Structure 1
């Protein structure tokens, strides 16, 4: 399968669950394949609505990253599938600690 070129701001949808993400960061020189539930994600514009099933594994409002690839996405709709980038699981990005305001 040929990977769809990604740009920051693109919305992707899962074909197996209700997960939807917005691309935040992607390397300019690569075209990574982002999958959810082991199935490639597609542009959200063309995506059919998938009924929710099972406990959500992707959490709305969380950023998921693949540090090795330099890819970052923001989950805008939770779903039961797990996110991966080029076959490697994506992890939840840790929030930065705010400075103390003493």
Structure 2
């Protein structure tokens, strides 16, 4: 799948949903609990799968998950009990930028 900025992605195993903030120009596989995430607005319904017990790290509401090497960033709009992964590796939580000193 080739995600695009602004696209919604939904997990088929749990209720996790996310918005693509930044996307690479290449095809990638975005998964949640080991099952591929799908566009909830697509006409075809995706079959629900079972959660991979190794990928139950959870996702947090309003947090951004990003991989700068791949060039992808996702914003979680509905949290779930499963972790989000790209091409099989978990997507790390993006750290906030430090504020400048106010001396």
Q: What is the CA deviation profile of residues 14-68 of structure 1, one whole-angstrom value per residue up to 9, with x for unaligned ones?
A: 000110000011112x0111000000000022468x9xxxx98100110001233
- 2:14 aligns with one of 17, 30, 39: 17
Secondary structure at the aligned position of 1:45 is classed as coil
**Matched residues, number:** 93
Match of 2:66 in 1: 65
Alpha-carbon separation, structure 2, partners of 1:18 and 1:66: 22
Secondary structure at the aligned position of 2:76 is classed as strand
Match of 2:51 in 1: none
**Structure 1 residue ranges (4+ consecutive) displaced by more than 3 angstroms after TM superposition:** none
Match of 1:99 in 2: 100
TM-score by length of 2: 0.81
- After superposition, the CA RMSD in angstroms is 2.1
The answer to whether the aligner puts 1:44 opposite 2:54 as a matched pair is: no
The unaligned stretches of length 5 or more in structure 2 are 49-55
